[in-house]
Structure 1
């Protein structure tokens, strides 16, 4: 069967508080973010695997605090003063990538110091602890290593199921009855895999002009699980 050309038009995930799925895996992290006044020195590091909900939590926190929000790889030294002075709160996402862009380590170091001096809350998100970030700047490494942190734990089946429901809904995909209950026990408890699977099913169903079925889901889960 000829494949249909598909265009990746993108989609915007729903990132409001009402769309956030609270489970035992993320409840402690969410509670911690809700009380920045209790953070030691006004700083917190949110750690969790790919797809665990860090971006969603950061979006909620940013909306509710008025925080500036940007990825670590986009940081430049001349941004630190503006970020720390104009918003009263800052979110730096994917901090584990801070060493991958020229000037980003220096910028984060300055931002750390300026936020302390100006009583600006600072939230970082990352996939791994700072020891794994390959930070070259010793002063930044020492500060990141001493930063208080909270983790999003590995998802349980309830969270994985709820995330799949949300991912399909974000793409406005009609899901056959029973498909998610069939998928959950057959896939790793990996929210990144869930995101990749839904994106692939969306693309393949369109390209093959096939409805979303258990067979299509099984085929593509098998492909992704081998990668």
Structure 2
């Protein structure tokens, strides 16, 4: 474990920036997400209609959409729910619209319709996906050409230092303490994602309360095994 991570047990936030999300959570800005955050910070002075954030599951895309929607008062819809018939209602009276997992849109015509209406009405459009638009296998030339003009920001899996900060922040939010040996045990074993950190801290908190046990390496290992078993069953 690096010296920087060890210092994280004594002082937050590892030279990272805390940012409010939805008025009750904190979002950490770090090298793995600063490109995407910088694009959102440019709003409402975006030079293009659409902005696309992409990254692997658990990299924070949905969290960033929530942060941006709180700021922009945007309406949000899941890509799998986007249909041609609901586009007019989605943009009516809106100043901004977000589509989470836009690459899962079942009808590219619907996304093209949304893009065109957003451009006509001066509406900002934020899209998220696991891959950049160039890899969405879009078979609609008009949509493909429009999305090539979008601002694109990448999110990567959290680095070790960032994972340490996430764990410390999640434990702190629950008024729990984590010792250096538990942190050192978790970092090489926990999946590097926001989701994995949240699920682990939630589960270990519940198990600690139920068993009236301190959070130790054995308890952490037990909870990790339980979560891994649940994932296999799913």
Report the TM-score, using the length of structure 2 for normalisation. 0.73
Task: Give the gaps of 5 or more residues in structure 2.
Answer: 1-19
1:66 aligns with 2:64: no
Q: Find the counterpart in structure 2 of residue 174 from structure 1.
A: 176
RMSD over aligned CA atoms reads 3.1
Deviations, residues 142-190 of structure 1 (Å, cap 9, x unaligned): 54455331011231122111222343455x3623333334422443433
The CA deviation string for residues 43-101 of structure 1, in whole angstroms up to 9 with x for no partner, is 100012222221221112111112111211222322212322312111111213213xx
The whole-number CA distance in structure 2 between the counterparts of 1:198 and 1:127 is 25
In the alignment, which residue of structure 1 is the partner of 2:11? Answer: none
**2:60 equivalent to 1:53:** yes
Match of 1:15 in 2: 21
Are the aligned partners of 1:26 and 1:152 in contact in 2 as well (CA < 8 Å)?
A: yes
Instruction: Determine the structure 2 residue equivalent to 1:84.
Output: 91
The answer as to 2:208 corresponding to 1:201 is no
Counterpart position of 1:34 = 41
How far residue 28 of structure 1 moved from its aligned partner, in angstroms, is: 1.9
Following superposition, which runs of at least 4 residues in structure 1 exceed 6 angstroms of deviation?
none
Residue 191 of structure 1 pairs with residue 204 of structure 2: no
The 1:212–1:35 alpha-carbon spacing in structure 2 relative to 1, beyond 3 Å, is same
Match of 2:122 in 1: 119
2:111 is equivalent to residue 108 of structure 1:
yes
Q: Give the secondary-structure state (helix, strand or coil) at the position aligned to 1:160.
A: helix
3-state SS, counterpart of residue 77 of structure 2: strand
Q: Which runs of 5+ in 1 are unaligned?
A: 1-13
TM normalised by structure 1 equals 0.75
